[in-house]
Structure 1
Amino acid sequence: MFSEDEIRHHFPILDRKINGQPLVYLDNAATTQKPMEVLFASKHYYEAMNSNIHRGTHYLARLATEGFEKARKTVADHLNAASTDEIIFTSGTTDGINLVADVLALSGTIGAGDEILISTLEHHSNIVPWQMLCQRTGAELKVIPCDDDGVLDQEGFRALLNGRTKVLAIGWISNAFGTVHPVAEMTAAAKAAGVPYVLLDAAQATPHVKMDVQAVGADFVALSGHKVYANTGIGVLWGRADVLNALPPWRGGGEMIKEVTFAGTTYNDLPFKYEAGTPNIEGAIALEAALDFVNQIGVGEIAAHEHDLIQAAAAGLAEIPDVRLYGPADRAGALSFNIAGIHHYDLGTLLDQMGVAVRTGHHCCQPLMARFGISGTTRASFAVYNTLADVEIFVASVRKAVGMLR
């Protein structure tokens, strides 16, 4: 049974008062709050096992190594990866996407006249690395259009696929509009057209979707721990072992080598080939705690709860005069809106004074905002600890702020 009160007890920050008001935290697409289990895992690492990993033979080094590799196994199980060798720890989604883009540039498999296909709804982190790849290789960036509901044009997508398409890189869920893309179907279409590499930006999908990387059919999936109740500075790049084995390493240094001489270097096996230097050990262990927390509740239970909240919030906002909601009705995670004649920043500032934390601006999606002829939106985004009471306070606060601004 899903219990809002029981879940909220796991998150001590939710007891804070903001400007004398109870905190209503609706900025979860930017980062989620952390449960006690994650805070304890971080604290326990430093108090009980702090050491560098893999090469040490002493007791603490063994403990830290076991904890780190156990976290990798938990991530692999959560994603249904074929092997722990396919789990590369990164600093986050942005780091993972840059890893793939840079390695593809180094590999020589992308050249002048080739095409990289992204979508209108991408976060800057899934735009800029591909622009940089195009600058280095002479490839061209192509963009899948969207309709007025913020839904990708599937006919337009298929029309863009051709023999020159070398990469399809798309988000699973839009961080700005909450649009859930049919990534399995799009991946299948890309593969049928001969596209060698498909990358999914799963930063927003990880907290809201039951993920099965084998079933979805992509070659790479990148995610961030802090979007799914873990720490900042830890993320995962999942990649198919055969694809990763065929590509060159990225950064050089310790861990990613088997043997070094001045004449040359023999690189390590997966996943260490892509993990140069001391990793974020504590972050990986805390990420395991976060995923254990999510799985104990159930991804399906969380998704159903959040769906009810976002539908209630959309219905409440729709009753406010001159409001425009962006994205499809079946959005997930994030709800973006504007109110005619009111700047999103002014609205967000007043909501903050009422204890309601939302995000305003372009949400690192400036091309998407340009597509809709706006500078930004107000965005409310939801997590497992949000409640219908939060939604009621949020909608009432928007109404009050609108009255103050008009």
Structure 2
Amino acid sequence: MDRILLVDDEPSIQLTLGDALADEGYEVAIAGTIEKARQTAALLPPTLVLCDLRLPDGSGIELLQEIKTRTPEIPVIMLTGYGTVESAVDAMKAGADEYLTKPYEQKHLLAVVKRSLELVRLRRRVDELEATVDRPIGQAPSFLRALELASAAARSECTVLLLGDTGTGKEVFAQYVHRASKRARQPFIAVNCAALPENLLESELFGHEKGAFTGAIRQRRGRFEDAHRGTLLLDEIAEMSPPLQAKLLRVLEEQVFERLGSNRPISVDVRIIAATRRNLEQEVAAGRFRDDLYFRLRVVPITIPPLRERPGDVALLVQHFVRLVERESGRRLDLAPETIDRLSRHPWRGNVRELGHLIRRLAVVAPEALITPAQLPDEYGEAHMAASADEAIVPEGTLAEILSGYERTVLLSALERFDGHRGHMADALGISRKNLWEKLRGHGLS
């Protein structure tokens, strides 16, 4: 049952409006002062608030601001017998959802209440649906550990560092952290640091003033301003130049920056999530990444395992992508069990992104709804898989990155095999516990 808090010091309003709301099936709590309203809301959290503009112990605007600061999702309808344009503007600026002047038509007020509550329910439903879209999907132990870390990070304001190969779903994890956090109703902005040259990336992030550089014909807000009170994902953070790294460090430490061509400081409240496919410890050792920024970013490091290390998740992901494709195209698609088995044995160098692209490709080119192994593209056939097994596939990257990737794979396998028991892992790998701990920490697995 929806609970309505009526805040008004007039006994006649308390009686008539309170009874009318109760007759509509609402639970009604009544307060005649701001202080009483605070106490009532603390004991019986309301679904909606009706508040008079003038109260014995202060302005209803004060209570409105308190409610919107603590619980912005609760609609507040302001009531007043002193209606002016100025008071209406003040109330709406403070966050009021509706503004009604006395004497009001009771039927109209009840309709406004009903509409506001329906909007609350609609928003909740949208939030529930959004929570299921692009949620990280998997059940492998290594994946669930990453998801558990992401859930814990969402409950805090800590900076998050997402580590993983290209296509593993780092942006999906970032969106999950954002949507599960208290910033969920605020913007989520993603910037790929590798997609722009240094001068354009600086303008993209921090904005610029008119005339700041050739071609700057008008003032432009940066992504930090766009993400105010929300979350900013800095993807491929390792590709950021040292000068920009220094500027980013200042924003992280002070929550202040200046647009290009300006000395005016701009304050922002932004939660930073960084992501990279590179080993940042190696980048720091090579002098390509600032160590102070690295430690500032890796408050909560989360390593997302590649799809080749969790073949049991392929069937779940196939089901997810099939549902998406069916919703987008209206075409039914079904993969035979032997087809899913074939895909589960594929090396997936492009990870989850590659699998998603394959399902969309099949929806376009497959002649029938049921996809058999024979309908898979050649690169997913038995002949290609056999050739891949016979010929060593040299991964992309430097030798150090390749060896680091293999080491991480071995460590993940040992973690699952020995259920995280460090002593058994160290014995099996033939290294000391101290060395094992250092390697786990280096790969973000500690």
Same fold (TM over 0.5): no
For Structure 1 versus Structure 2, the TM-score category normalised by the shorter chain is under 0.3
- Higher RCO (C-alpha under 8 Å, 6+ residues apart): 1
TM-score, length basis structure 2: 0.24
Question: Radius of gyration: which is bigger?
Answer: 2
Q: TM-score, normalised by structure 1?
A: 0.26
- Richer in strand (by share): 1
